[in-house]
């Protein structure tokens, strides 16, 4: 049974329209797979949830409570997606943070998306988004609930063969895709955008940064423009649900089949096992 959820550990609970997560997007979230009852990369996911809560001044719920919610929702044979949302809690009106705000914790069980098999074997096609991400260093990297830019960007295409859309910022730097982070390979260098002005710093991006040297790649977290992206030998996108896909096409640009995505995916799966 899917689309079940717990609010503060309770099944019968509901949100009210006074929750600041709704009113202002005043909260953060994470999304990750749960296989046979075990949340993937849990220590990294929880660390990022805590860091993101801290950045907004929200008290992050203890890991034990979230894990117990996940255990209550998932049985040991399921392969599902868990989404955790933490909001600042209820407020009456106005942006000022109530002194006694009690964070609300929501744990939602969802079906694993049914990605086409050829995305994994042959790679994917991307759209280049017209929308440019705004520069907000105070929110950059955080997986917060203010995601209208992603929603508007995702509205730009309806082609079911397009897996995601590349987002540039208002200064023309490459940042990410609407639901994934990205890496370029130039020779033995793996480049991924610096996310200090915009974008979401995903857990799988961090895992790839951490593992790349052991696979023989030099990592560069840097600013670069579309021209550098189009000149890359290979391009891959990643997130916690699908792992890594090679990009074979971005608008008129085509890349040959490569081994980077399979190598990274293989290592991620090995580490998860």
- Would you tell me which residues interact with a copy of itself (CB under 8 A)? 3, 5, 7, 14-26, 29, 31, 56-57, 81, 83, 85, 87, 92-97, 106, 108, 110-111, 113, 131, 134-136, 138-139, 144-155, 170, 178-179, 198
Helix (H) or strand (E) holding 51: helix 42-56
CA distances from 82 to 25, 58, 95, 181, 256 (A): 19, 21, 29, 19, 34
**Nearer to a copy of itself (CB atom), residue 29 or residue 46:** 29
Question: Minimum distance from CB of 266 to a copy of itself (Å)?
Answer: 26
**Nearer to a copy of itself (CB atom), residue 129 or residue 191:** 129
CB atoms within 10 A of CB 156: 14
DSSP-derived secondary structure letter, 100: T
CB 177 within 8 A of CB 237: yes
**Nearer to a copy of itself (CB atom), residue 5 or residue 120:** 5
Question: Minimum distance from CB of 170 to a copy of itself (Å)?
Answer: 6
Question: Minimum distance from CB of 38 to a copy of itself (Å)?
Answer: 20
String of DSSP letters for 200-230: B--HHHHHHHHHGGGGTPEEEEE--BHHHHH
Rg of the chain in Å (alpha carbons) = 19
* Ordered strands of the 38-39 beta sheet: 4-7, 104-111, 79-87, 27-35, 38-39
**Nearer to a copy of itself (CB atom), residue 95 or residue 256:** 95
Question: Minimum distance from CB of 152 to a copy of itself (Å)?
Answer: 6
**Nearer to a copy of itself (CB atom), residue 85 or residue 238:** 85
Question: Minimum distance from CB of 18 to a copy of itself (Å)?
Answer: 7
Question: Minimum distance from CB of 29 to a copy of itself (Å)?
Answer: 8
Residue found under tokens 């910022």: 169
**Nearer to a copy of itself (CB atom), residue 159 or residue 252:** 159
């Amino acid at each position: 049974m899917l689309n079940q959820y717990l609010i503060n550990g309770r099944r019968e609970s509901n949100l009210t329209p006074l929750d600041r997560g709704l009113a202002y997007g005043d909260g953060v979230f994470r999304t990750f797979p749960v296989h046979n009852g075990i949340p993937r990369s849990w220590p990294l996911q929880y660390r990022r949830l805590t860091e993101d809560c801290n950045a907004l001044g929200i008290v992050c719920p203890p890991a034990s409570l979230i894990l117990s919610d996940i255990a209550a929702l998932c049985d040991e044979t399921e392969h599902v997606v868990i989404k955790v949302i933490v909001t600042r809690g209820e407020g009456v009106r106005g942006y000022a943070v109530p002194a006694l705000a009690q964070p609300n914790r929501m744990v939602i069980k969802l079906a694993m998306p049914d990605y086409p098999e050829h995305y994994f074997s042959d790679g994917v096609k991307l759209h280049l988004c017209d929308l440019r991400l705004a520069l907000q260093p105070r929110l950059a990297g955080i997986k917060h609930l203010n995601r209208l830019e992603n929603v508007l960007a995702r509205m730009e295409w309806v082609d079911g063969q397009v897996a995601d859309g590349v987002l540039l910022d208002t200064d023309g730097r490459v940042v990410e895709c609407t639901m994934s982070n990205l890496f370029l390979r130039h020779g033995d260098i793996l480049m991924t955008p610096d996310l200090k002005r915009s974008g979401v710093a995903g857990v799988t991006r961090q895992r790839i940064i951490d593992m790349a040297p052991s696979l023989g790649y030099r990592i560069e977290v840097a600013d670069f423009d579309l021209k550098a992206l189009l000149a890359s030998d290979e391009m891959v996108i990643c997130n916690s649900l699908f792992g890594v896909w090679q990009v074979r096409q971005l608008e008129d640009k085509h890349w040959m089949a490569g081994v980077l995505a399979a190598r990274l995916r293989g290592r991620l799966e090995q580490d998860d096992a």
